[in-house]
Amino acid sequence: MSVSRNREDGPLSGLTVIDASTLFAGPLAAMHLGDFGARVIKVEHPSKPDPSRGHGAAKNGVNLWWKTLGRNKECVTCNLSSPSGKDVFLRLVERADVLIENFRPGTLERWGLDPEVLHERNPRLVLARVTGFGQFGPYAHRPGFGTLAESMSGFASMTGEPDGPPTLPPFGLADGITSLATAYAVMTALHDRDRTGKGGIVDLSILEPMLAVLGPQISRWDQLRTIQPRTGNRSSNNAPRNVYRTRDRQWVAVSTSAQSIAERVVDLVGRPDFISEPWFATGAGRAAHVEELDEAVGSWIAQRDRDDVIAAFTQAQAAIAPIYTAEDIVNDPQLNAIGAIQKIEDNDFGQMLMQGPLFRYSEKDATISFTGRAHGADTDSVLEELGFNKADINILRAEGAI
């Protein structure tokens, strides 16, 4: 699907978001807002661009992650620690609805850009502050990254094989989840602003969204003094739930969170006798007999090719999915049908595929107007909107403010 639509009718059109954050959680949140029509102005240091521009794979020296992360963002350079750069930034703030930043606590304050100054310029501004551990507390000034949140949230402790070490994800899981939480927090604050007429401050650590998605581990420890063990690809709550290898050396994943699905699976693989066992009636009971169930399901799948396995499960209305790589994802008909994969025009590569926006909303589809732009590509045009003439801009550039 190739997308190039007018952004003025997006559900968030009319909102202006300043993305002064770096790497992933904040920039991803701004990307989500931009997908639905918000104008996003990416502010970077003149000589120290967002490190995400150099993160991961590149083609012909052009970073590919930034193409997605920077989509729909106008790119401006501004040295917030210089007096002239501070003035430019405050002029941007005057016209903005949202500012997303992830500097260590106290950094904006040191530059004379504390929340009181920002709200004096723009009382309706929503300031979203995304940090490792929050704006206060004993860890507030520690450097914070997603890996630390994945470690301290309990995620790593419960992930991995039973006899193996705790396992970290090979991608920015905490940052990705935090980006969704940040976008949600911003919209909550904007609704409150519409109700009260005053902007507010969002204080969000990357640790808290991870805690939110990891289930009742805290309540479990409080009430039972037990900790969820590492179970590999199995579940401690139900079975069969695992990945299984097919005859043609492919992998599939099976889930039986619902009792009816569990019954369909064992019936399909030739073991309907399990259904009459008292332990089969609950997820916990099935999890206690996981070896028997995995043997039955795994041996049946191992005798068949992947496509045949999926066809049989689908016909039986049992839950199964192939283990995909990116190559499989871009060719999947369902993901293409709903616009999860989109083909976007790009200045460097002509066209490129990337994941689409998060959801669809009535007739007001999200829009990817352009991919990530060069560092400072829009500085002059944005500053001209703020009232700077070309001579002013040249002076600012000579001073290193932009």
Write the CA distances from 188 to 181, 183, 202, 258, integer angstroms: 10, 9, 9, 33
Burial of 175-184, coded b for 16+ CB within 10 Å and e otherwise, reads: bbbbbbbbbe
Half-sphere exposure of 348 (CA within 13 A, CB side): 15
- Cα(146)–Cα(150) distance, integer angstroms: 6
Looking at 35, 175, 294, 365, which residue is catalytic?
175
* Neighbour tally for 394: CB within 10 Å: 13
- How, if at all, do strands 341-346 and 350-355 pair? antiparallel
The closest of 140, 172, 195 to 129, measured between CA atoms, is 140
- Cα(91)–Cα(18) distance, integer angstroms: 11
The closest of 319, 302, 285, 367 to 35, measured between CA atoms, is 367
378 labelled catalytic: no
For the residues of 343-388, what is the DSSP string, one character each?
EEEETTTEEEEEE--S---TT--------PPPTTTTHHHHHHHTT-
The letter for the amino acid at 249 is R
Q: What are the residue numbers of the active site?
A: 175
